[in-house]
Amino acid sequence: MKKTACFTIALICALTAVAEDGSRLWLRYERVQKACVTGVECLAAKELRDYYDGERVRLELDTTMAQDAYRIEGVTITAKNEIGLLYGTYALLRGEKGYSAPQWPLRILNHWDNLDGSIERGYAGNSIFFHVPNTPTTLQKIRDYARANASIGINGSVLNNVNASAKMLSAGYIKLVKTYADILRPYGIKVYLSVNFASPMTLGKLKTADPLDPQVAAWWKAKAKEIYTEIPDFGGFLVKANSEGQPGPGDYHRTHAEGANMLADAVKPYGGIIMWRSFVYGANHKGEDRVKQAVSEFVNDDGKFRDNVILQSKNGPLDFQPREPYAPIFDTMQHTPQMAELQITQEYLGQSRHLVYLAPMWQEFFSFVKPSRLVGIAGVANIGLDTNWCGHHFSQANWYAFGRLAWNPNLTSEEIAKEWLAQTFSLSCSTAPGKALLAMMMRSREACVDYMMPLGLHHIFKFDHHYGPEPDGFKAEYPLEWCPVYYHQADTAGIGFNRNHTGTNATAQYAEPYRSLYDDVKTCPEEYLLWFHHLPWDYCMKDGATLWENMQAHYNRGVSEVEDFLRIWQEAKPYIDEQRWKETDERLHHQLDNAREWRKVCLDYFRTFAEKKK
């Protein structure tokens, strides 16, 4: 009898326990169903009834408040509309009080998801939208996705890859997008689509996609009407044009402004926008330093775009490197609305295999480009069908941090990490384990720079997949600007890319004081030194050691940091659930192996120049 009772209790516990597999992200609230919620009846009220541990909450509307803003006073949440009340609800659940309004109206995730269900530069499994579209499981996943985004204030999703298939605009896919839009809408999320500029030829069977051809413009206007008929609050289009083989207005000797404006006119009657990416380099810039090409490509179009066109630019002038100076296009385009594009998915930062907290990198960008100069922000999403959404449990922190910084870029990386740790692992940073994990997160980005590419080195990854080191990388069949040897310029005389006035003069694209600061080797910050200057191996650094000695020290420090992260994680074991501890531990061991590989491969290669006998 006693055995039976024990077995029954154990079985009940096993059936009712919620697995800590990361699927609940930072939304690990227990369903208490305790609160009495009065006032406005909406989705926020349901969330509060389910999860708020207090006894009473009142929801009120105040139409004079700013869009999306909320105020939490006592047990009352006030907002302009139901979406504001929802944002306020999640703020209350994480312990906030007072008034809060977002910095930008556009806080958008860019999904690089393909219609075959794969994800370009995705490291957490297949697409939540297209792998098995429109099934009950998929629809529930998208509801969970919407809730997670609403909890951190994200209000837009570009569902498909910027290397877009024209089929995305076919009638069947528009119906699918409508289904998803209906799920996302109650959570305040608009849908957007990436479009292929040649769609009128592929889908419409036109002979051209010339933006000044009346038939082309008419096709896009008809397509916009078709989309908005199905999805009245559709956000608009994201466009990658004349970049990496994608079609664009340049194919017809038209400008980016002429191409963007044609699309802008098509969506304008419905309140839609065009997000036009500045990631353009290659054919028209033969021999020009790649980091200068975006400015060269767009400077003559400044002020010529329609008012519903936004230029979307990556935070750095190259391509999401572990560290880049900010992109000078944010200085150049003074008469064109701009939004910054950040990468959450860690393409060049160890992907989902490395623990690298990205908020410090993004705050570094905002220290140069003031948020007030932007009208929105986009993040290349790290979300997939993996059970824990992001491949690595700590990669969830980057999704969370993007949303929080998109709402308030004045939050510190440390504040956001504390929030995330408290919600995700129930760890207070006032305790020793919490403090240790916070320190690990805060140090992780700098550690990644150290063991990959310190002192301004950049783009020395293996070809194509961008995982692991290949400083000797060169393929004659590739454009030189895709080859690692192009970027480090190592020889027996020294290392680094000369971009000051004696070299490619990329420094001239920056506004003062950075133009002069970066141009002069004596004032250039050491973290950007080899980005802007080619220097001898025995160049004397600020600490009195040589450049070569400093490089070795950085690589060694990066590896030592990951060794310490493993120690911290081992000591945290008693405070973390078994599955998430084990899975993170495995990733950290892999990260250490890869950091050691980076150190060995890079130092062995550069040593052939640095220590070559004269």
Q: Is residue 520 situated within a structural domain?
A: no
Whether residues 246 and 160 fall in one domain: yes
**pLDDT class for 612, splitting at 50, 70, 90?**
confident
* Mean pLDDT along residues 368-372: 97
Asked if residue 221 is part of any domain, the answer here is yes
Residues in the chain: 614
Are residues 51 and 131 part of one domain? no
Q: Is residue 427 part of a domain?
A: no
pLDDT average, residue stretch 587-610 = 98
Which has the closest alpha carbon to 278: 351, 337, 323?
Answer: 337
Give the pair of three-digit tokens for residue 262: 């044609």
Choosing from 289, 301, 341, 347, the catalytic residue is 347
In a domain, residue 564? The reply is yes
Query: What is the total count of domains within the chain?
Result: 3
Co-location of 133 and 277 in the same domain: yes
Asked if residue 244 is part of any domain, the answer here is yes
Task: Please check whether residues 402 and 253 belong to one and the same domain.
Answer: yes
Decide if 319 is catalytic.
yes
What φ, ψ does residue 92 adopt, rounded to 5°?
-60, -40
My answer on whether 49 and 159 are in the same domain is no
Could you tell me if 369 and 476 lie in one domain?
Answer: no
Residues 476 and 406 in one domain: no
Q: Is 542 helix (H, G, I), strand (E, B) or coil?
A: coil
Query: Diameter of the chain by CA atoms?
Result: 88
The whole-number average pLDDT for the span 400-429 is 98
Q: Which of 54, 69, 100 is the last residue of a domain?
A: 100
Catalytic residue among 21, 120, 251, 319: 319
527 is catalytic: no
Residue 15 has pLDDT above 80, yes or no: no
Known catalytic residue: 47? no
| Three-point CA angle 402, 138, 91, nearest 5° | 35
- Distances, alpha carbon 554 to alpha carbons 368, 524, 564, in Å: 24, 18, 15
**What is the CATH number for 473?**
3.90.1330.10
pLDDT value, residue 613: 55
pLDDT band at 13 (very low <50, low <70, confident <90, very high): very low
**Bridge partners of residue 79, in order along the sequence:** 61, 70
Instruction: Please check whether residues 83 and 168 belong to one and the same domain.
Output: no
Average pLDDT over residues 338-351: 98
Q: What is the pLDDT of residues 445-503, one digit of tens each?
A: 999 999 999 999 999 999 989 999 999 999 998 888 889 999 999 999 999 999 999 99
- Is 423 inside a domain boundary? no
* Residues forming a β-bridge with 100: 70
The CA distance from 522 to 301, in Å, is 35
* pLDDT score recorded for residue 464: 87
User: Between 464 and 150, where is the model more confident?
Assistant: 150
Name the domain boundary from 363, 393, 412. 412
Same domain, 572 and 606: yes
Do strands 106-110 and 156-158 pair parallel, antiparallel, or not at all (unpaired)?
Answer: parallel
The whole-number average pLDDT for the span 149-170 is 98
Confidence band, pLDDT 50/70/90 cuts, at residue 282: confident
Residue 596 lies inside a defined structural domain of this protein: yes
Based on the fold, state whether residues 174 and 66 are members of the same structural domain.
no
Please identify, among 357, 382, 412, the residue that sits at the C-terminal boundary of a domain.
412
> Considering the chain, what is the average pLDDT of its residues?
95
Domain containing 482: what range?
451-497+534-610
Which of 244, 543, 604, 611 is an active site residue? 244
Answer yes or no: do 254 and 203 share one domain. Answer: yes
Q: Residue 312 is part of a domain; what is its CATH number?
A: 3.20.20.80
Residue pLDDT, tens place only, 523-532: 999 999 999 9
What the block records as the tokens of 194 is 């990436």
Are 112 and 230 in the same domain? yes
Contact 326, 332 (CB under 8 A): no
- Give pLDDT tens digits for 529-547: 999 999 999 999 999 999 9
80-119: pLDDT as tens digits: 999 999 999 999 999 999 999 999 999 999 999 999 999 9
**What is residue 14's predicted lDDT score, i.e. its pLDDT?**
33
CA–CA dist 283, 555 (Å, integer): 36
Q: What are phi and psi of 165, to 5 degrees?
A: -90, 135
In a domain, 523, yes or no: no
355-366 residue pLDDT tens: 999 999 999 999
- Asked whether the bond before 433 is cis by omega within 30 degrees of 0, the reply is no
Question: Is the pLDDT score of 283 beyond 80?
Answer: no
